[in-house]
Amino acid sequence: MNWLLERVQPNLTIGTTANVDLFNGFGVLLLCKGKQITEDISKLLQKREVYVWKKQETSSNVRPKAFPKDKYTKLVGSLWGIYHEAKLIQPEQIEKTVTLVETIFNELKQIEIYLDLEVSRIDLEKFKQNDYGTFVHSVNVALLSTMTGKRLGYTDKKLKNLILGALLHDIGKLRVPKEILNKPGSLTDDEYIVMKQHPQYGVEMLRDVRLSPSITAIVGEHHERWNIKGYPYGLQGHDIHPDAQIVAVNDVYDALTADRPYRKSLPPYHALEMILTWSGRDFAPKVVQAFKESLVLYPEHAVVTLNTGEIGVVLAVPLHFPTRPLIRLLFDRNGKFINEEIYVDLMQNLTYFISHVEFDEAV
């Protein structure tokens, strides 16, 4: 049984007695049961800003079966933390997406490309062995792009082409020297010039393959940016292919949440905040919105652990910045229950961020 805040109908008048405790949207007590409705409470009632706590019966305590890790790691592996630990992806969602991507993944074995001036089949196992990091990244981007594409209404052939393009988006890195690709420090200017050629290398490798133009566009344009500051062509806004816009967002998100030779990964929620900040600058706003909506963020009353070790419950989620909710603390960093009302507003306390979410609501 869970407890939920439920709006009070605005039919209580000034001077009448409240038959229940009344709260605001943050769960803070406004008026005790048995007290008379004041003018201020009446105004809040008319604005529909008064709530009561209600018990919600649950039909079943059975949790959805978690998607098995061995099934996922057999395909790729590193998105597991985003799904299982951060819980940004629902179990049913990851299962359907992995199955779909795995089907397209197997079809790639039939495609031939030009590699080192010779015709070669796309052997993703060789790709995996040659550069495991790029292989893992490509499959993760395909999984995330699939969820974003579905949110945007992609179906059937259009979704298939999006997945193929996402799986192939970094194929040009096979022509980038390994000492540049896996360099543990910052690239020199000359090395960066070479790295920035990988989209064009990829397009060249696919030039004689019978693929949808959208797939080639993803390979060539996934580093273009909404504000014209991307590469290699310097495209802007809607001049960038819609599929490439989708892959661009998911490409950066996965890169931020993965360990790299030159830096450690960012927490998934921190990376998501950065993506949201770059909406309309680096990325298409419509795509960022779909990307955000394809993930599970913070339902009200979810229990969260902060980077400080403190534990609290989500009371309110800002509409335009859902990664920065208002939290009422329940336990301090030593695990001691806090027997007073202490709130942390992540919109104001920017050094705080959520490191873990437990989706069972506080009772």
Tens of pLDDT, residues 237-275: 999 999 999 999 999 999 998 877 667 778 787 888 899
Taking residues 124-153, report their average pLDDT.
80
Given a cut of 60, whether residue 77 has pLDDT beyond it is: no
pTM, 2 dp:
0.67
Q: What proportion of the chain, given as a percentage, has pLDDT over 90?
A: 32
Q: Report d(CA 223, CA 282) in Å as an integer.
A: 10
Residue type, 306: L
Beta carbons within 10 angstroms of residue 203's beta carbon: 17
Q: Report d(CA 22, CA 182) in Å as an integer.
A: 59
User: Whose structure tokens read 């292989």?
Assistant: 135
If one compares 24 and 307, the residue with the highest pLDDT of the two is: 307
Taking residues 39-53, report their average pLDDT.
84
Q: Report d(CA 191, CA 73) in Å as an integer.
A: 32
Taking residues 126-146, report their average pLDDT.
78
pLDDT value of residue 286:
96
pLDDT tier at 121, thresholds 50, 70, 90: very low
Instruction: Specify the DSSP class assigned to residue 279.
Output: B
Q: What proportion of the chain, given as a percentage, has pLDDT over 70?
A: 75
323-to-166, 241, 268, 348, 356 alpha-carbon distances in Å: 26, 28, 10, 12, 12
